[in-house]
Amino acid sequence: MNVKINIGKASGAVKAPPSKSAAHRLLIAAALAKGVSRISGVSLCEDVLATVDCLNALGAQITISGDVATVRGFDPRKADPRVELFARESGSTLRFLIPIALLSGKAVSFGGAGRLMERPMSLYCELCEKYNMTFKQEGGKIQVKGPFRAEELALRGDVSSQFITGLLFILPFLGGERRIRITTKLESRSYIDLTLDAMRYFGIDASWEDEFTLLVREGRYVARDAEVEGDYSAAAFIDALGAVGGEVSTLGLRADSLQGDRVYKSHLKALSEGCVEISLGDCPDLGPILFTASAACHGARFTDTARLKIKESDRAAVMAEELKKFGADIEVNENSVTVHKSELHAPTEVLCGHNDHRVVMSLAVLATRYGGVISGAEAVKKSYPDFFAHLRELNIEVNEL
């Protein structure tokens, strides 16, 4: 799908969509609990639907009516799925559920779309090899087979926190006290805190024992009702309209949220005031929109950007490619990105979304100031299906071509 964004000044307020990071965690915790839970405020974005489908295949019973998911839990140690678990393009779904699939002694097959199966999985592969579990990746498929038997868990913290989250979910089933030791600098710690918060809400004793050690005690997940909070990651795209001349506000965000991407507000403020240096180590998903905002303002230097290569696209490279069409001058290095102050203009050619929802939304924000046509705009369905509808609510003319 191609969309044309016409030049306009965004104005008004919209409610932030539900957090998919929170939804993944609440749905999984509910699915691991005995009994029935109800999770309200669930977004029907592609990533969340992937998690629902895979949990159902493993043995949960999840039905969705409106924005409420009713979840009847299952015992993952007895899981015996007869179909492939298709994770679509959701890295969270795949990495969160592989350890759960390893709890039983049955072979479980995972599939995916887009670049999902190209994203790093070495931590699970090495863990399975060390403890004589099966992990086979070939032909765009992953097959795993337990039962999970690892006694010690020591993981790198600079690859993806999703591996740590996946293992945290299963530790209550392994008996006694279980620990995960982080062996390197930890990035995206806030996502682990979200996981611990969800586990505690559903009855599990899980916490940081010290700066580098996570402790989880044996226990049972307890069915609870919960509500998904608003998504700071998505709200960043709406509030960034202010950096390109709009006057907008985003509603429905918890002030006490544990989401790491809540820092977008201070980062956008800093970018509007002058050239700054910002680390993306704990907020890599903000990279595309912060690059865009800095190009529209005074430029900036971003550090800890290496992990942007392994997202839905090589985000630093493709954002440099697309923002160049607006006249931006961006220098991409191994672990840093410098956005130089430039005179921007209407894009010289069609903008490409690179099958990446955050790239599409970032380009759309800048296009409200300079106009532009974006190809592959349907990628927003991955996380924020209502994005273009919300732009229209903010008085931006959006036309599907």
pLDDT band for position 149 (50/70/90)? confident
Domains within the chain, CATH numbers bracketed = 3-17+230-400 (3.65.10.10), 20-227 (3.65.10.10)
**Residue listed under structure tokens 């350890």:** 99
Predicted local confidence at residue 277, as pLDDT: 96
Q: Is the pLDDT of residue 192 over 90?
A: yes
Catalytic residue flag (residue 239): no
Distance CA 276, CA 259 (A): 23
Which of helix, strand or coil describes residue 197? helix
Predicted local confidence at residue 139, as pLDDT: 86
Distance CA 57, CA 104 (A): 14
Average pLDDT, integer, range 377-400: 97
Average pLDDT, integer, range 345-361: 97
User: Of the listed 285, 304, 356, 386, which one is catalytic?
Assistant: 285
Q: Is the pLDDT of residue 242 over 90?
A: yes
Which of helix, strand or coil describes residue 337? strand
Distance CA 388, CA 260 (A): 25
pLDDT band for position 165 (50/70/90)? very high
Summarize pLDDT for 287-337 with one digit per residue, the tens: 999 999 999 999 999 999 999 998 899 999 999 999 999 999 999 999 999
Q: Side by side, which strands form the sheet with 372-375? A: 351-352, 372-375, 3-5, 398-400
The residues facing 278 across adjacent strands are: 302
- Residue 141: enclosing H or E segment and its boundaries? strand 141-145
Buried b (16+ CB within 10 A) or exposed e, 303-338: ebbbbbebbbbbbbebbbbbbebbebebebeeebbb
Which of helix, strand or coil describes residue 295? helix
Summarize pLDDT for 9-63 with one digit per residue, the tens: 999 999 999 999 999 999 999 999 999 999 999 999 999 999 999 999 999 999 9
Q: Mean pLDDT, the chain, as a whole number? A: 96
Distance CA 40, CA 37 (A): 10
Average pLDDT, integer, range 374-386: 97
